[in-house]
Structure formats: C-alpha cells, structure tokens
Amino acid sequence: MANIKSQIKRNRTNEAARERNKAVRSEVRTRVKHAEDAAAQGAENAEELTRLAIKSIDTAATKGVLHRNAAARRKSRLMRQLATPAS
C-alpha cells in the first residue's frame, strides 16, 4: 500500500479507469464476435452487426482504450470478412 497521499489517490483513479476500460473492451469483443459470426453464416443482418461493431471500435479508440492503428486494423479485418462470401 502506498504511503504518499497523491499515490493513494492515483491508485483509486487507476482502478476506476481500469473498470471503465474493461467494460469498453468487453463490449468491443462482444460486438465483433457477433459481427464475425453473422458474416461467417451469411446472415442478412451481417452488415448491421458489422456497423455496430465498427461503431464500438471507434468509440474505444476515441476513449483511448484502443490505439487508433489497432482500431483501424480491426475494422479492416471486419470489413474483409464481410466482403468475402460465406462458405
């Protein structure tokens, strides 16, 4: 446990930020998984699910949870999966 007052507060703020980031990352993973499954099955709502996944990726990048290049890479992979015909 920290003895310095500023470090004690910093630990509290880091924990709060960690919980927020965890929620954002979880949402991104969930939406990406749904979009990938829909694209693989050739579902009719695959485009809508991909749009929602991209929206959550952009939100995570804006909040600093994901690096912007990592967000671009994930979006690119999602779009590539959507473009290839389902087998």
Reduced DSSP (H G I as helix, E B as strand, rest coil) percent helix, strand, coil of the chain, to 5: 80, 0, 20
pLDDT confidence of residue 52 = 97
Domains of the chain and any CATH numbers:
5-83 (1.20.58.110)
Residue 22: φ, ψ to 5°? -60, -40
> Residue 28: is it exposed, middle or buried by C-beta count within 10 angstroms (0-12/13-18/19+)?
buried
- Cα–Cα distance measured from residue 72 to residue 12, given in angstroms and rounded to the nearest whole number: 31
pLDDT confidence of residue 36 = 95
pLDDT confidence of residue 2 = 83
Q: Give the pLDDT means over successive 10-residue stretches in the chain (87 positions).
A: 91 96 97 95 93 97 96 97 78
pLDDT confidence of residue 84 = 85
Whether the Cβ atoms of residue 51 and residue 72 lie closer than 8 Å to each other:
no
pLDDT confidence of residue 1 = 76
